[in-house]
Structure 1
Amino acid sequence: MKEDIHQCMKMGIVHRAAFPLAASKRGGTIESMMDIVRDPFFDAIELTSIPDPAERTEVTQLLLSSGMMVCYHAQPRPSAAKPLSIGSLIERERRSAIQELKEAIDEASEMHAEMVTISDEFISGAFLHKNTLPALEQSLQEIGRYAASKGAMKAAYEPPFTFSNEPPRETIAKIPGTGVYIDVEHLPAHYEMNDRNMKHVKKQLIYSRIGNCSKDGRYQQHVAARQQAVNTEQLMHFLRNLCKMDYIGEGKQKVLALGVKPLAGESPQAVIAGGKRTLLEAWRLLQRHSAIWPEC
């Protein structure tokens, strides 16, 4: 395996996580993105909606100039009266969720995004009820076709870990340009579980994230998880699994996005730098354990 991590994957960063307050001040979004595009460590950036058309145009031009790959995370509008689910059995609600996702895909296309990730809020537990699966499959097919109509754009969503036993896994494999993504901070805390669960998404995996990470682990703010951030050893195991799944490796250029988020009073730049150091340390550990993990 190559020592240079960039020869084995595209390194990305989740903008909204790294700079959570950027949109709250005038010019904050473009200023924070300037920090990112100036850093040659990152090959890709994950954005979310930019409501102001003028600001969106400015961001698009900046990213085109930088040559970075653009990914777009579609999430429900803050003004939504109730959660929207593409697995809803109420047809009106299902259509509303699909329409919102299509509008997000339109915005992503405007910003030349090559990947759209779908927030799990749009799934809203649909995998947990067998009677919602047909509606969910139908929605995913429509969304996948719509994303494909934009050219080379792909659509990915994060499945629950009952995914290996559910019919949509087979459906996803049949929809061109559609797949799943995984986020290490949402995986079960016991990493032996990851080995079993991650292998089920091997063929459908098209995008991956790592959340807050530090050498010793620290509290991270994901509302649902409420667990420690990923430490170096855990991250090494996650990278090992990605190697075994043939997602990363020599000559591979799939995205691994850094989703670090500063806590109150922390500098975004310092937290990003810490995340990079942790990732590179995990990569070096994996290099030293190459005899144990020959698949990598």
Structure 2
Amino acid sequence: MKQPIETYFQIGTIQWMSYPPADYSLLESVKKLAGDEFFTTLEVTHVEADEERMQLRTLLEQSHMRVCYGAQPRLLGHGLNPNAIDENEREKAEKILLHSVDEAEYLGAKGITFLAGKWQEKDKALAYGQLLKTTRNVCSYAALKGMMVELEVFDYDMDKSALIGPAPLASRFAGDMRMTHSNFGLLVDLSHFPTTYETSQFVISTLKPYITHLHIGNAVVKKGFEAYGDQHPRFGFPDSANDTPELLDFFKVLKEEGFFRKDNPMVLSLEVKPWKDEDANIILANSKRVIKRAWALLED
């Protein structure tokens, strides 16, 4: 493409993926990312300590970056399920999501993203209703603040085993949500397409009316191989599903489906993390190289 990628997308990264908190300082990594002009968006998550949260907000205010907030780690880290059949368990997840809306607002984000919980075939319909209840309650609260709520589409039987996807079920859910709440959207992630046995063309064309946020990354979907499942390894990882050709195909489909929007560019964040003792800075550079190469190969 002759036009730079930032003409059509707000390029970001997921801070806690790029710099896993077990190995890297939150504030130091945010300073590094905020100082990198390649990124115009930064996705952050819950910060436990009040002082550190305040310092994070100060850095984000200085950055002139779009801020996004992911509530996925809060749910996964505590085993919370927004579609739990048990009402007490469902309410625990909803409470965390409502608090996440407040924290996102404090940090300067215009919404939150989250994921559905695990499910069982025997009560799948009940779980679907519970997820609608949770999401509608959170959307109603977010709407009071002028904020969005986005559900990320995950695998349904491989790793996270979330209720939503695959894409056709995500489409049905988003349609039901839009009947009552216009501040709801879907986040789709290239790294999840192999885990739901779907293609970029199928996912994006199926979910086109509801997609409001994009992620890109990689996955290993061969059982028994290293980093199997929803682990977001680097592009080029051994036996993995996505690299430059798959990202190029993703860009082609987005272009064909009308997602190249100069006047209202969508967030497109890389969700890639170091595997074991890999260096985060090198993995981040790897991701940027793949993005640049795929974009350069995209025809006008």
TM-score (normalizing by structure 2):
0.82
Match of 1:30 in 2: 27
Amino acid at match of 2:177: I
Match of 2:43 in 1: 46
Distance 1:74 1:3 in 2: 33
Match of 1:208, SS state, is strand
Change (3 A) 1:267 1:167: closer
- Summarize the alignment of residues 1-296 of structure 1 with structure 2, pairs less than 5 Å apart: 2-21=2-21, 28-75=25-72, 76=74, 80=78, 83-118=79-114, 120=115, 122-125=116-119, 129-151=124-146, 153-159=147-153, 160-165=164-169, 167-174=172-179, 175-188=181-194, 193-212=199-218, 221=227, 223-224=229-230, 228=240, 230-287=242-299, 290=300
Is the Cα contact below 8 Å between 1:161 and 1:197 reproduced in 2? no
Change (3 A) 1:186 1:129: same
Bigger mean CA deviation after superposition, 259-268 or 46-55: 259-268
Kindly state the Cα deviation for residue 66 of structure 1 after the two structures are TM-superposed. Answer: 0.8
Share of identical aligned residues, percent?
A: 26
Is the Cα contact below 8 Å between 1:69 and 1:113 reproduced in 2? yes
Distance 1:65 1:148 in 2: 26
Match of 1:294 in 2: none
Amino acid at match of 2:32: D
Kindly state the Cα deviation for residue 244 of structure 1 after the two structures are TM-superposed. Answer: 2.5
Change (3 A) 1:190 1:49: closer
Distance 1:41 1:144 in 2: 32
Amino acid at match of 1:150: K
Match of 1:155, SS state, is strand
Distance 1:115 1:126 in 2: 29
CA shift digits 1:189-209 (9 cap, x unpaired): 798733223212111111111
Aligned Cα root-mean-square deviation (Å): 2.7
TM-score (normalizing by structure 1):
0.83
Distance 1:244 1:191 in 2: 21
Match of 2:213, SS state, is strand
Amino acid at match of 1:280: K
- The aligned length equals 275
Distance 1:8 1:155 in 2: 22
Is the Cα contact below 8 Å between 2:113 and 2:151 reproduced in 1? yes
Kindly state the Cα deviation for residue 88 of structure 1 after the two structures are TM-superposed. Answer: 1.9
Distance 1:44 1:116 in 2: 14
Amino acid at match of 2:119: G
Unaligned stretches of 5+ in structure 2? Answer: 154-163, 220-224, 233-238
Amino acid at match of 1:10: Q
Distance 2:125 2:36 in 1: 46
Unaligned stretches of 5+ in structure 1? Answer: 214-218, 291-296
Amino acid at match of 1:137: L
Kindly state the Cα deviation for residue 63 of structure 1 after the two structures are TM-superposed. Answer: 0.7
Match of 1:216 in 2: none
